[in-house]
A and B are shown apart, each in its own frame.
Chain A
């Protein structure tokens, strides 16, 4: 199972641009985060999955905020905790939200992913055109950055910056959206 040294190695390789390592880290992080959020949001599996997704985007867009001098899991859970607190603050403003019964249970990362309450794909539509297209082409349609430049006429650094900004905006939207 995932442990500190293993996860840290994956993140460091991901930071150096290793796609497979980055994917492996996100996958293992998702399992740990799912356990973390489900234990704290008893009975709100969809909310937990929303938070898993939010936190994954945060871990990805802010991955340069990891300081290798300190434990990787401390970094990961600090961000997870931050997203959780942010979620609970938002929930306080929602009349129907039930934030009682939050307790800490046993961590069991073997949960199956359930459906998220919100669909990240629909949030993409709210992004500025340039950011939306860059993410659409490179992240969802599996095109290379090179192919995306040919298709859009943007430069390569334009595409990369648009993706980065777009993902940050996306995370902000995930935080603002009020499920009804």
Chain B
């Protein structure tokens, strides 16, 4: 088929284009992703037994995670449609990472030197399991986001994959806060951020394969 014929065929009987209602779809994706992650925590990990007494730290951690997701979200939205500059949306993420680093350092400075390692690692003999668990909880949410994005036209697939991964990681971390037994600021600011980074890295690796259109 000659290109001229193709153009004729494409243009013939063209309809008014439908408005892309991305706002509602995005909201549904986020709520569903959070719901699934919360369900997985409740079933698979169990809510921490002292959730009543620990309401405040759990809320704080969930808010931290929500803030992380909110910082990444503008990038996802901007990447939905081709040819839009990313600008401050990348900058916001870098600033957020800086805040996490500063918060960790300040919190550790406040600890006695011999207790710093424990505060950072989440207690004696403990390890930051969230680095593994948050990416697992984020997977269903990331799948929903992938499905959402494929309805649009992302053209930078690796970056889009990373952004989707990071937002999903943030959303999963909100749910994970119900389980997570460690409340130290240094722990959360470091390992939640690292867990979200792992999600972003996995998203970047998979992006160019699963987001193709």
Q: What is the interface of chain A mostly: helix, strand, loop, or mixed?
A: helix
Asked if A22 is at the interface (CB within 8 A of a chain B CB), the reply is yes
Q: Give chain A residues whose Cβ lies under 8 Å from the Cβ of B82.
A: 62, 65, 74-75, 78-79, 82
Q: Is the CB of B155 within 8 A of A78?
A: yes
Q: Is the CB of B3 within 8 A of A64?
A: no
Q: Nearest Cβ distance between residue A94 and chain B, in whole angstroms?
A: 17
A75 to B9, CA, bound (A): 22
Question: Known interface pairs A15-B17, A65-B152, A138-B12. Does A70 touch B7 (Cβ–Cβ under 8 Å)?
Answer: no
Asked if B114 is at the interface (CB within 8 A of a chain A CB), the reply is no
Which of A57, A78, A160 has a CB less than 8 Å from the CB of B15? Answer: A160
Q: Give chain B residues whose Cβ lies under 8 Å from the Cβ of A77.
A: 83
Q: Is the CB of A70 within 8 A of B83?
A: yes
Which of A89, A119, A145 has a CB less than 8 Å from the CB of B1? Answer: A119
The residue of chain A having its C-beta at the shortest distance from the C-beta of B3 within the complex is A113
A23 to B10, CA, bound (A): 8
Q: Give chain A residues whose Cβ lies under 8 Å from the Cβ of B153.
A: 58, 62, 65, 79
Q: Is the CB of B17 within 8 A of A70?
A: no
Question: Known interface pairs A79-B153, A86-B212. Does A113 touch B2 (Cβ–Cβ under 8 Å)?
Answer: yes
A27 to B2, CA, bound (A): 12
Question: Known interface pairs A52-B3, A119-B1. Does A26 touch B83 (Cβ–Cβ under 8 Å)?
Answer: no
Interface members, chain A 108-130 (any B CB < 8 Å): 113, 115-116, 119-121
Question: Known interface pairs A71-B83, A74-B84. Does A19 touch B13 (Cβ–Cβ under 8 Å)?
Answer: yes
Asked if A56 is at the interface (CB within 8 A of a chain B CB), the reply is yes
Asked if B112 is at the interface (CB within 8 A of a chain A CB), the reply is no
Asked if B23 is at the interface (CB within 8 A of a chain A CB), the reply is no
A168 to B150, CA, bound (A): 12
A120 to B7, CA, bound (A): 12
The residue of chain B having its C-beta at the shortest distance from the C-beta of A176 within the complex is B212
Question: Known interface pairs A66-B81, A74-B84, A120-B6. Does A19 touch B14 (Cβ–Cβ under 8 Å)?
Answer: yes
Q: Is the CB of A82 within 8 A of B155?
A: yes
| Interface size range of chain B in the complex | 20 to 34
Question: Known interface pairs A56-B7, A74-B83. Does A121 touch B16 (Cβ–Cβ under 8 Å)?
Answer: no
Q: Nearest Cβ distance between residue B10 and chain A, in whole angstroms?
A: 5
Interface members, chain B 50-92 (any A CB < 8 Å): 80-85
A167 to B208, CA, bound (A): 22
Q: Is the CB of B83 within 8 A of A144?
A: no
| Residues of A in contact with B (beta carbons under 8 Å apart) | 14-19, 22-23, 26-27, 30, 49, 52-53, 56-58, 60, 62-67, 70-71, 73-79, 81-82, 86, 89, 113, 115-116, 119-121, 135, 138-140, 142, 144-145, 160, 167-168, 171-172, 175
**Contacts A/B (CB < 8 Å), 17 sampled:** A17-B15, A17-B17, A27-B7, A56-B6, A62-B153, A64-B19, A67-B81, A71-B83, A74-B82, A76-B83, A78-B155, A79-B82, A79-B83, A81-B155, A116-B1, A120-B1, A145-B13
